[in-house]
Structure 1
Amino acid sequence: MKSTLDQIEDIKKNGFSLDFATVFNHAFENYKKIALYSGLIILVFTIVIVMFYMGIMIAYFGIESLKEDYLTELTNQKFTIVELLIQTIGFSVIAAFIAPFSAGFLKMADSADKDVEFNVSTMFYYYKGKYFGQIFVAALITAITGNLFSNLIKSLDIPFGNVIAFAIPYIITYFVYLSTPLIIFGNLNAIESLKSSISIITKNPLNIFGFFIIGFIGALVGLVGCCIGIIFTVVFNSSMQYATYFAIFGTHSEEEDSIDSIGKYNVD
């Protein structure tokens, strides 16, 4: 059975194609298996995080910090280079610590796909063992890069600067869309996963961009009607990410050379 890196080398040489309908259907069917359970987990942890955030804001800035005017003023405040750097590092470290939790949804999707039982501990599976460090580093590099360029654009006061600054993190996230699956399913390290994700996506940018956008929109569907519904739809993005990886690399087994499964779900 070829290693993930060998498969990636084949992809670089020969490219790959994806069946849009098959990937979407796989993602949707998988999402239905994990939506309720993951939604309840997100609800509980959202409440905990909000309470923690409010406690920190009150402790450092006082009760006034929870007022809308104060938050608006804080958002529009002009920061110095040092403050921007501290802010960038701070938010990036937080994002990196959250990344293994997000990866837990991919683990949940994989378990559901294979009809393996999963529970709350599944969400924390990647906070232990060899995966944590690699997921943390990959997420830290991604977050620092996105936040750094975004804050830099904001500080330059250029035309449409806010729009560009807003878009940069999402553009970077798109190009490293497969980095976490490559770590947890492909056993790559952080740097290899980031480089490989970029290589794979540039080989078929339109299809994967379609999955990226649909996953993002699908995650936001819960905002329609009742905003709390997003708690149960946000995991659709993870399901789409999992289905995309699955369609490219297929399943890994001792009986099947996994490179043979590339294109198994192709239309072209």
Structure 2
Amino acid sequence: MKSTLDQIEDIKINGYSLDFSNVFNHAFENYKKIALYAGLILLVFSILAIFLGGGIFAAIFGIQYFNEDFIKSLQNEQTTSSVLAIYSLALAFIAAIFSPFTAGFLKMAYSADRDEEFNVSTIFSYYTSRYFGQLFIAALLISLTSGLISVAFNLVGIILVDTIIALLINVFTCLTIPLIIFGNLNAIDAIKSSIILVSKQPFVIILLLFVAGVGSAIGFIGCCIGIVFTIPITYSVKYAIYSAILNIDEDDSIDSIGSDSE
């Protein structure tokens, strides 16, 4: 069987076909299998995160300062380059820490696609796997790059360009995590390979991710709490895109996923 890098080398030369309707139908069918379970997990941990974040804020600033005037003062405060840099660095580390959590949802989508059992431990399986380091490094590099670009454009006051570039970075690196956990690539190779794969079919992939984003937003529009049940469609779409481009049905690919917690 060809390795993931060999398959990507072939794609660099010959490209690949990606049918929007086939991929989306695959993603939606798979989403229906994970929506309730993944949504409940997101709901529980979102509540825990809110309480934890509120507790940390109260411990640092004091609960008496948490009022409307304090929030307005934060909004009106002039940000400096150092503050923006620290903020971007903090967000990059948060993204890196939570990257195995995202990988867990992709593994859940993989298991659901094959009608295999999955549970809460599936979401956290990559925190104790050999892939943790590569997931952490990849997410940190992507977030730092996006953050530094954001700081640069914010300092010169060009926010629109900053937003567009950040979105493009997210799109072109959207296959990084599946390339690590399904393709067994290291962080650098996964980032480069994701850029190569997306660049071959950028419009179809952008449209798929856009529709997934709209689908996620529906939960927020209908009922704020409902968004936790619509967010999983983004993971399902990313999994469906990856599986449509690269074959992950081979025995050794499945074996590597099955042994990722060893």
Q: TM-score over 0.5 for the alignment?
A: yes
**Residue 246 of structure 2 corresponds to residue 249 of structure 1:** yes
In structure 2, the partner of 1:233 is 230
Residues 59 and 254 of structure 1, relative CA distance in 2, 3 Å threshold: closer
**Residue 104 of structure 2 corresponds to residue 104 of structure 1:** yes
Question: How far apart are the structure 1 equivalents of 2:239 and 2:82?
Answer: 38
Which has the higher mean CA deviation after the structures are superposed, 242-251 or 185-194? 242-251
Question: How far apart are the structure 2 equivalents of 1:83 and 1:30?
Answer: 42
Deviations 1:148-187 (A, max 9, x none): 1112211212xxx233333332221101011110000000
- Pairs within 5 Å for 1:60-71: 60-71=60-71
- Pairs within 5 Å for 1:115-194: 115-157=115-157, 161-194=158-191
Question: How far apart are the structure 2 equivalents of 1:102 and 1:249?
Answer: 20
Runs of 4+ in 1 over 4 A off after TM superposition: none
Question: Per-residue deviation at 1:56?
Answer: 1.1
Structure 1 residue runs without a partner (length 5+): 257-268
Question: How far apart are the structure 1 equivalents of 2:88 and 2:252?
Answer: 47
Question: How far apart are the structure 2 equivalents of 1:10 and 1:190?
Answer: 20
Residues 23 and 79 of structure 1, relative CA distance in 2, 3 Å threshold: same
**Residue 85 of structure 2 corresponds to residue 88 of structure 1:** no
- CA contact 1:180–1:193 (8 Å) conserved in 2: yes
In structure 2, the partner of 1:261 is none
Question: How far apart are the structure 1 equivalents of 2:68 and 2:229?
Answer: 27
Tell me the secondary structure at the aligned position of residue 224 of structure 1. helix
In structure 2, the partner of 1:9 is 9
Question: How far apart are the structure 2 equivalents of 1:183 and 1:98?
Answer: 15
- CA contact 1:215–1:241 (8 Å) conserved in 2: no
2:218 aligned to 218, 221, 225, which one? 221
Deviations 1:208-228 (A, max 9, x none): 111121121112110122111
- CA contact 2:219–2:225 (8 Å) conserved in 1: yes
- CA contact 2:33–2:112 (8 Å) conserved in 1: yes
Residues 255 and 95 of structure 1, relative CA distance in 2, 3 Å threshold: closer
In structure 1, the partner of 2:256 is none
Question: How far apart are the structure 2 equivalents of 1:69 and 1:206?
Answer: 45
Residues 27 and 168 of structure 1, relative CA distance in 2, 3 Å threshold: same
Question: How far apart are the structure 1 equivalents of 2:161 and 2:77?
Answer: 18
In structure 2, the partner of 1:23 is 23
Question: How far apart are the structure 1 equivalents of 2:245 and 2:65?
Answer: 47
TM-score (norm 1): 0.90
Question: Per-residue deviation at 1:80?
Answer: 2.6
- CA contact 2:182–2:248 (8 Å) conserved in 1: no
Identity %: 50
Residues 62 and 255 of structure 1, relative CA distance in 2, 3 Å threshold: closer
Which has the higher mean CA deviation after the structures are superposed, 247-256 or 117-126? 247-256
Tell me the amino acid that sits aligned with residue 94 of structure 1: I
Question: How far apart are the structure 2 equivalents of 1:67 and 1:78?
Answer: 19
- CA contact 1:64–1:70 (8 Å) conserved in 2: no
TM-score (norm 2): 0.92
Which has the higher mean CA deviation after the structures are superposed, 198-207 or 58-67? 58-67
